[in-house]
């Protein structure tokens, strides 16, 4: 991932509380000619002890601004069905595009569904 950041094809933002990293988000920038208008949120996390403080929302707003500054007008992402992030994405304007059952193997060994979302970013 750090190689992609150095190459300019991925963006990594972190949220800090003093010196501790309390959250992070990654944005992959499409590099094919037919996709230069889009990007994908790949990871968003906030430490459990730091949740419900607006950190995830702030990270998402910041990464959307970076995407827009880099000419991206469409962001896509997926999240595990039933995750708390699902509600966040809906609240900040992401639209459900579809669901895939049994998509990812959980730490508990079960197959969880995923939900795909997208957001069209307004242009200046």
pLDDT digits (tens, 9 = 90+) for 66-120: 999 999 999 999 999 988 899 999 999 999 999 999 999 988 999 999 999 999 9
What is the spatial distance between Cα 81 and Cα 107, in angstroms, rounded to a whole number?
15
Q: What's the rounded Cα separation, in Å, for the pair 83 and 71?
A: 30
Fold of 2-120: Aminopeptidase (3.40.630)
Question: How far apart (Å, rounded) are the C-alpha atoms in residues 90 and 96?
Answer: 8
Distance in angstroms (rounded) separating the CA atoms of residues 6 and 1: 9
Q: Which residue has the tokens 């920038």?
A: 29
Rg (CA), the chain: 15
pLDDT band, residue 124 (cuts 50/70/90):
low
pLDDT tens column, 17-41: 888 999 999 999 999 999 999 999 9
pLDDT at 1 over 80: no
Per-residue pLDDT tens for 35-63? 999 999 999 999 888 888 899 999 999 99
The pTM assigned to this predicted structure is 0.89
């Amino acid at each position: 991932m750090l190689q992609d950041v150095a190459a300019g094809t991925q963006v990594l933002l972190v949220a800090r509380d003093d010196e501790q990293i309390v959250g992070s988000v990654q944005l992959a920038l499409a590099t094919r000619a037919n996709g230069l208008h889009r990007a994908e949120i790949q990871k968003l996390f906030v430490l459990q002890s730091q949740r419900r403080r607006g950190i995830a929302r702030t990270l998402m707003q910041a990464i959307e601004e970076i995407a827009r500054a880099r000419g991206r007008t469409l962001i896509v992402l997926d999240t595990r069905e039933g995750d708390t992030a699902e509600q966040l994405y809906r609240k900040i304007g992401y639209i459900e595009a579809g669901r895939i059952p049994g998509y990812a193997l959980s730490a508990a060994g079960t197959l969880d569904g995923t939900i795909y979302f997208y957001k069209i970013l307004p242009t200046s």
